């Protein structure tokens, strides 16, 4: 039980020390989140700064999302154990950037 108490005490101490250095916890920062001492990862802070995400979790004013339309046709011949198919993908780039490479996985 005592070990558990020390773990909580140490975690609280480390959290308060670590949190003090992040802009989202300083009142003079535009990324300040009131009533919280939670750690905000750098990539999330960058999303707030870029306007793609808002601190309340909703998409920001500069949020975009790419999409794709898939057309798939398959022919299966069970007696011959053959499957033939084709696929057409139409990709929609809604980002403000030009995509030089598309990666398929």
Question: What's the pLDDT at 105?
Answer: 83
Predicted pLDDT of residue 40: 83
DSSP E strands, 44-100: 67-77, 82-92
pLDDT at 71: 97
| Predicted pLDDT of residue 29 | 66
- The residues of the chain scoring below 50 in pLDDT are 1-19
* Contact predicate 61/74, CB 8 Å: no
pLDDT of residue 56: 84
Instruction: Please say whether the dihedral angle defined by the alpha carbons of residues 35, 41, 44 and 46, taken in this order, is positive or negative.
Output: positive
């Amino acid at each position: 039980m005592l070990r558990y108490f020390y773990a909580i005490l140490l975690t609280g101490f480390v959290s308060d020390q670590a949190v003090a250095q992040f802009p989202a916890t300083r009142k003079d920062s535009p990324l300040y989140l009131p009533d919280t001492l939670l750690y905000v990862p750098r990539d999330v802070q960058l999303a707030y700064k870029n306007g793609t995400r808002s601190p309340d979790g909703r998409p920001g004013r500069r949020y975009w999302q790419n999409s794709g339309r898939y057309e798939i046709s398959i022919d299966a011949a069970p007696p011959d154990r053959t499957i033939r198919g084709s696929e057409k993908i139409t990709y929609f780039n809604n980002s403000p950037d030009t995509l030089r490479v598309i990666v398929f996985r």
